Amino acid sequence: MNVRLPLQLAIVLLVVGLPAGAAAGQVAGESKKRVPLDWKRDPKVGSPRAEPVVPTAPELPSELLIVPGGAGPSAEPSRTARPPGQGSDVDGLAMRAGDDMAHEAARLWGWREYWRAGFARGVNVALEDPRLGAWDHEEGMRFGRFDPRARALGDQLANEAAEGTANGDAEARVRQQFMDLSRDPVLDRAGARGRSPQGTVPGLHGPFAVAPIFDEVFVAYPPARTAGLSRDGRRELGDWRFDRSARAYDAQWRDPAFAFSIWRDRQRRGSPWSRWTGAQRDEFRVVFRARFLATLAAIDLRATYGAWRVGFEDGWRYGAAIQAEWAYRQGYAEGFDLGVGETAAIAFPYAYDRAYAAAYPRWFDTWSRSAHPGIGEVRLADESGDGVFEPGERVLVEADVVNYGGGSGAFDLIVSGRDLGPPVTTGVTFAGRSRAPDTERLALRVGDRVPPKTRTPVLVALLDARVETQLYVSRPLDIDGPPAIDADRIGGRVTLTIGVSNTSRRDARAVVSVVSLDGGHDVREDDLGVVPADGRRQATVTFTGIHPLDLIGGTSRWRASVARGDTIDDEREIGIAPVATDLSNPDLLDFMIALANTPQVSWSDVKDARELMMDRLRADWERAVDASGNPYKRDFKSSGTETVLGELVRVTQGGRRSLASPQVFDGLGDDVSVLCDDLPGAHPLLRKWMKKLAKRLG
């Protein structure tokens, strides 16, 4: 443990002024979560050497300019504006009120809105200038790096990492010495010193400080705190809260309806307005509106526009202050993390050496006084001795066990397996640093329902030592590799060649049986006689009378098995690959020609053959899509056989009348035309020539 940690905690207490218990808890918690920072600046550090210069305000955006004749919205649709009349008290008062409110709008309301728009633009310009916060970022890095909490946290993390790492290294060093039974372990100085790892502290991952949040800077630093703001700007900030997400400029100030509502709200009881009739009030409103717009377009607005520049300078100063504070907080958090890492890197080697020096003799004493069993080689044997672990057979387990520790002891050796029934146990007694005498063979039993060709684990346990080995459950005879298939599809004949291996250490008599799964359950057998240990034989069986379409379509299936007497050791299902969609195999077309030359044919055979031919045409379409040019067009013009459809046309054209059963091909052209519309992809020319070629089928 680090004896300097209480002293550093005391330093933290003096700096932050926390009670001892609270500080200890805080630092302990800081190793598990990020540390919230105060963002306090050093009062002894002055401001940057050179104050940033406010840039020149940009030109007023054109959309904020007042264009003569377009100062505000058009007149109300329900009111008909007319020029002011002569000698009317209503008109005269409306003209004077319109003049007064227009000047007030330009002097007060417009000035405020242009100042606010400029202020928002200035803030954004300052925030987009990374140079403004460079000095503050460096200052934050320096102050955060030397934050007392960073030093205390780094030291604590170093001690925690050192204690765990040194303890593991010391235990490994002692284990290495005791695992060699040919020598007597000695508590040597070289082992006690150890070697502290160089480089980074193990398991030390930042960040350690709570990351600053940009929006919190605006909350903590309101615009009124900014130095150098104009007097008018400070007045405007009195009743306005700057919000970056809201639109700063409001064009309502130049709306005559808005000006009229303000004028009307100022009228007291007994004023002319309160005595007028509804018609006079409507007349006043129309004249006021026209006069307000005319006056606002005619007066000199340079002073109003000047608020844009004043607001820009005030906003830029505020944005620069925000930028400086934000950069300072970012630098402070980075410096804090840097300080934690530097302190931990410096403290770790010393803490590691102390922790290792304490852990090494402790582990050496533990290994010297106690037993530490270990498991060496594990050997498995089957009860019959043929080298094959069969379902239902007992498995004999032997294990070499040793005590690496200096103390004696008695322990249970436990052998278990998921598919091997309940665990079995035997007692083992050790002397210090010795191998146990021959241990009892432990027997497990493979479950009767464990299928052959199953790999299942066997676990040998002795106190904390664990060794797992794999047991392969099988039978002596095994069907070796995929069977070879020799097929005459048109003739309906298949020959299957099946390899059989004897994986045991004893000779075994093998009989191979193959049964058809197509409904007839036709069985063929081949007695291989005695297959020698680790030997191999081949069985050959032939099936005839199979329907050609079953072989062409790949629907034929067989089940092959190899048996020793009444016990089936292995079996496998065999299938034949379909060739209907194999464009290089002519069996389907040859069968259809042979079928058409047969006087009497089955309607179901014709139907099945034509469905397979549709599948073949789909495969041929995919090949034509990927090919260059238009193979259907070439077959149409040259009577070629580049496509499957071209082959069909060549076979059927000119010889349809000589066929004994022409219904095999009758109407096939119409079926192909329907198929054309269902084929995938947008290939209009291929589809067009395919349909033309299909018409020749009739």
- Measured CA to CA, the distance from residue 425 to residue 428 in angstroms comes to 10
Position 261, amino acid:
S
Residues sharing a CB contact under 8 Å with residue 642, sequence separation 6 or more, in sequence order: 631, 634, 635
Cis check for the bond before 207: say yes or no (omega within 30 of 0): yes
CB proximity list for 95: less than 8 A, separation 6 or greater: 84, 287, 288, 291
Angstrom CA distances, 89 to 67, 85, 286, 287, 594, stand at 31, 9, 14, 12, 116
Mapping DSSP to helix (H, G, I), strand (E, B) and coil, where does residue 523 land? strand
Residues recorded for the chain: 698
Collect all residues with Cβ–Cβ distance below 8 Å to 33 and sequence separation of at least 6.
none
User: Which helix (H) or strand (E) is 434 found in, with range?
Assistant: strand 434-435
Sheet containing 523-531: order of strands: 523-531, 508-516, 557-564, 567-575
Query: Tell me, what's the pLDDT at 17?
Result: 34
DSSP 109: I
pLDDT of residue 192: 53
Q: Give residue 548's region: left, alpha or beta (phi > 0; psi -120 to 50).
A: alpha
**What pLDDT score does 72 carry?**
44
What global pTM score does this model have? 0.58
The string of DSSP letters for 236-285 reads HGGG----TTS----GGGG-HHHHHHHHHHTPPTTSHHHH--HHHHHHHH
Backbone angles phi, psi at 82, to 5 degrees: -140, 155
Contacts of 102 (CB under 8 A, 6+ apart): 259, 291, 292, 295, 296, 299
| Residue 549 CB contacts under 8 Å (≥ 6 apart), including other chains | 591, 605, 608, 609, 612
In which element (H, E) is residue 430 found? strand 424-430
Ranges of residues in the chain with a pLDDT under 70 are: 1-32, 42-51, 67-88, 189-199, 520, 654-657
